[in-house]
Structure 1
Amino acid sequence: MAQIFIDAATRQNPFESSIGYVIRTDEAVLEFGQYLGEMENHEAEWNALIAALKQAAALGIRSVILKSDSRIVVDSVHKNYTKNPKFKPYLLDYQGLQDKFDLLIIDWIPRDQNKHADHVARHYLNQH
């Protein structure tokens, strides 16, 4: 079973975000990230979720424990609902990706347990 850690990094001036995610399997630890440009942090966290799941599916991973320090994303996924209209397309994307996995568990973790994904996200933010 793979473990995936996701995070977003955002700076205010100028307002810009990036994402980072780490996929740990028995064989490897893989780092991925992307600069997103102008985007608020919660939306970037959703982008990290979708990008990480798409990457895992592309790698043929079928069982995942995904960990995020974003309560908004984790709670929305667990409730299968978000009241923020901006996040609804992301929740729909997530629901569409669920079928690609035999097992998909998403857990909230404290920020201090998500340092690797945070480091990757900040790396991509600082490249711009």
Structure 2
Amino acid sequence: MAQIFIDAATRQNPFESSIGYVIRTDESVLEFGQYLGEMENHEAEWNGLIEALKQAVALNLTSVILKSDSKIVVDSINKNFVKNPKFKPYLKEYQQLEKQFDLLIIDWIPRDQNKHADHVARHYLKQQ
């Protein structure tokens, strides 16, 4: 079963964000990321989730444990509800992507267990 660690990095004045995610399988450890531009952190976390799942589909992964230190994203998915209307399209897109997996588990992890994805996200933020 593949493990995917996701994170976002954001700096303020003006808001600029990037994402990073690490996909670990029995065969490899793959790093991905991108600069998102002007975006607040929670929205960047949602973007990271969506991009990581799209990449997992592209890699033909069917069983995934996704790990994030974003309590808002993890709780929203587990409750199948978002309060902020800005995040509703992300939840809807997640629900569509979820159908492409045989097993998809979303798990919250403490920030100190997500250092690899954080490092990747910060790398892409520093590139700008």
Aligned equivalent of 1:9: 9
In the aligned structure 2, how far is the partner of 1:109 from the partner of 1:63? 19
In the alignment, the residues of structure 1 paired with residue 56 and residue 9 of structure 2 have an alpha-carbon distance, to the nearest angstrom, of 21
Matched, 1:90 2:90: yes
Deviates more, 1:32-41 or 1:6-15: 6-15
Distance 1:121 1:38 in 2: 15
SS of match in other structure, 1:100: coil
| Structure-2 residue corresponding to 1:67 | 67
Alignment of 1:105-120 (within 5 A): 105-120=105-120
**What's the secondary structure of 1:86's corresponding residue?**
helix
- Per the TM alignment, residue 45 of structure 1 is displaced from its structure 2 partner at its CA by 0.1
**What is the match of residue 54 of structure 1?**
54
Q: CA deviation at 1:14?
A: 2.7
**Partner amino acid, structure 2, of 1:113:** Q
SS in 2 for 1:9: strand
Gaps of 5+ in 2: none
State the TM-score, normalized to the length of structure 1. 0.99
> Structure 2: which amino acid aligns with 1:46?
W
Normalised by the size of structure 2, how large is the TM-score?
0.99
2: CA distance, partners of 1:105 / 1:12: 32
Please state how far the C-alpha of 1:13 moved relative to its aligned partner: 2.3
Letter in structure 2 aligned against 1:15: F
* Runs of at least 4 residues off by over 3 Å: none
